[in-house]
Amino acid sequence: MRNLLLAFGVLLFAAFPALAQEGKIGYVDSQKIFAQSPEYQEAQAKFDKEVEDWNAKAATMNDEVDKLKEDQQKNSLVWSQAKKKEADEKLKAEQDTLQQYLDSTFGANGKAEKRMAELSKPIKDKIVGVIKKVAIENDFEMIFDAANVSIAYAKENLDITDQVITELGKGK
């Protein structure tokens, strides 16, 4: 999709030579901007702590599953059929609960993904605002994000990443 948008942008400029000659194009490296953003680093640390807590809960649940499996192995010869069936059902229920927890926490659209989006949204919005400000002040027609779009080549003077980082630093 991003490559399609990039190709569309290139075709648009090719179709309008006057615009292509007059318009300034730049790019930023959002990964570099995020890496140098204290707010993002703080949000990442908070997120990492939450993930650590979620992992600890998953480990506890997994330990319970392992304990039930171990009990089954130790006692399967002495347990009655009814007790074996009950233990199998309990083990299956615990495994299902663990899997459900892992899916809802770490799976697609899970708690972790939603939490990271929640923590990073205000930071992303601020960065986009600064990119827009720098682009307007420097009369750029278009700014690409090198981290999200494949740029085969670009002159370094088109890179406004450092300007954006500097401008973000002024906002403190």
Pair 56, 89 in one domain: yes
Pair 84, 102 in one domain: yes
Domain final residue, candidates 72, 89, 114: 114
How many structural domains compose the chain? 2
Residue 168 has what pLDDT? 87
Cβ-proximal residues to 118 (8 Å cutoff; 6+ apart), any chain? none
Residue 159 has what pLDDT? 87
Q: What is the CATH number of the domain that holds 145?
A: 3.30.910.20
Q: Average pLDDT by consecutive 10-residue portion of the chain (172 residues)? A: 42 45 82 93 96 98 97 92 94 97 96 96 93 90 84 75 89 66
Pair 60, 18 in one domain: no
Pair 131, 78 in one domain: no
Residue 27 near residue 143 (C-beta atoms within 8 A)? yes
Pair 55, 32 in one domain: no
Can you give the pTM of this predicted structure?
Answer: 0.71
Cβ-proximal residues to 120 (8 Å cutoff; 6+ apart), any chain? 40, 43
Range of the domain at 14: 2-38+120-170
